[in-house]
């Protein structure tokens, strides 16, 4: 890409994308964006990003916006990603809920292809099986993402050998997966406590209801500070008192959000609502 005309086409696309889904790309990412959108642009006959934006604004062809958002999102994920949050969840949070005899409502706020909520649900099963803390545990999950395509994958709960190798222990694989085609599918006990829903984090959280735990991991990094603050303020409203917010391992509470306190749970960093 070269020339000032093309640069402003790129800026035009950025100005359309950011308010739509919060994702920002630096000025050095023009080439990456164009390569991700090449196929879509060819199909709808757009010769520039500016023309693509015109199509997007006109709503034609149908489904274009969904495809563009899908192409712009990064769905990188794995089972029990970073380990510590999951350890904290089963060793501290689940233990407390089980002692109180209270149902835990958990929100996986950018769940991608499902590894995050299914990892949590496997831990619930494991907790119940081993009865850590001497009492049982009741939990339900809501898992949301902006991408309808990735949510369809998550709902299917079928994973390839390559996906299964990323972070899953042999023991959990044997216990919670059944053979399915060329890959494996998660057992119904783990699937059944999760509801998957479409949700753009820029929009209201009514569909979520009140929750005790939020996993909002590896998504805020893509957003501006203003968006992060707005999202975290609104998450505060759905998080029950005494609840827990887990961010990604490279993410921190931005300056300007003052209604959480930071706490260590083992080796995990969590945020608790004030």
Q: Is 231 in the site for ligand SAM (CB under 6 A)?
A: no
Closer Cβ to ligand SAM, 85 or 98, answer by number: 85
Q: How far is the CB of 64 from ligand SAM (least distance, A)?
A: 17
What is the distance between the alpha carbons of residues 150 and 174, in angstroms, rounded to a whole number? 25
Let me know how long the chain is: 274
Q: Would the CA dihedral through 257, 83, 108, 264 be positive or negative?
A: negative
Is residue 165 classed as helix, strand or coil in its secondary structure? coil
Q: Are 216 and 247 in contact (CB under 8 A)?
A: yes
Instruction: Verify binding: residue 243, ligand SAM, rule CB under 6 A.
Output: no
Task: Give the nearest distance from C-beta 222 to ligand SAM in angstroms.
Answer: 6
Give the Cα separation of 234 and 85 in Å (integer). 22
Segment interacting with ligand SAM, rule: CB under 6 A, options 32-40, 68-76, 180-188, 236-244: 68-76
Distance CA 77, CA 112 (A): 7
Q: Which residue in 77, 98, 119, 269 binds ligand SAM (CB under 6 A)?
A: 77
Q: Which of 9, 125, 126, 145 binds ligand SAM (CB under 6 A)?
A: 145
What mask, x for binding ligand SAM by CB under 6 A, covers residues 195 to 214?
A: -----xxx------------
Distance CA 263, CA 267 (A): 10
Considering only the stretches 19-27, 130-138, 177-185, 235-243, report the one whose residues sit in contact with ligand SAM under the rule CB under 6 A.
19-27
Tokens 């609840």 sit on residue: 243
Per DSSP, the three-state class of 190 is helix
Residue 143 sits in the site that holds ligand SAM (CB under 6 A): no
Task: Please pick, from the candidates 219, 232, 245, 253, the single residue that binds ligand SAM as defined by CB under 6 A.
Answer: 219
Q: Is 114 in the site for ligand SAM (CB under 6 A)?
A: no
Residues binding ligand SAM: number (CB under 6 A): 23
Q: Which residues contact 12 (CB under 8 A, 6 or more apart)?
A: 49, 50, 53
Q: Which residues bind ligand SAM (CB under 6 A)?
A: 21-23, 73-77, 81, 110, 112, 116, 145-147, 150, 200-202, 217-219, 248
């Amino acid at each position: 890409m070269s020339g000032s005309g093309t640069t402003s086409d790129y800026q035009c696309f950025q100005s359309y994308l950011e308010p739509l889904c919060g994702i920002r790309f630096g000025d050095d990412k023009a080439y990456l964006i164009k390569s991700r959108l090449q196929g879509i642009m060819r199909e709808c006959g757009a010769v520039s990003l500016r023309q693509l934006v015109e199509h997007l604004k006109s709503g034609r062809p149908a489904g274009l916006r969904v495809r563009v958002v899908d192409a712009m999102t990064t769905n990188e994920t794995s089972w029990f990603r970073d380990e510590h949050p999951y350890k904290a969840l089963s060793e501290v949070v689940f233990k407390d809920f089980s002692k109180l005899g209270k149902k835990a409502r958990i929100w996986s706020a950018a769940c991608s292809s499902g590894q995050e909520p299914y990892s949590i649900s496997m831990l619930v099963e494991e907790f119940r099986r081993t009865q850590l803390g001497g009492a049982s545990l009741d939990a339900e999950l809501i898992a949301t993402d902006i991408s309808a395509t990735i949510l369809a994958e998550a709902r299917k709960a079928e994973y390839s050998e390559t996906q299964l190798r990323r972070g899953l222990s042999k023991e959990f694989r044997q216990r919670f997966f059944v053979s399915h085609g060329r890959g494996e599918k998660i057992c119904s006990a783990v699937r059944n406590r999760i509801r998957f829903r479409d949700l753009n984090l820029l929009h209201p959280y009514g569909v979520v209801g009140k929750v005790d735990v939020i996993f909002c991991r590896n998504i805020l990094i893509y957003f501006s500070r203003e968006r992060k603050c707005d999202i975290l303020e609104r998450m505060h409203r759905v998080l029950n008192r005494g609840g827990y917010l887990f961010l990604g391992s490279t993410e921190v509470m931005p300056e300007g959000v003052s209604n959480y306190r930071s706490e260590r749970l083992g080796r995990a960093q969590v945020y608790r609502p004030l």
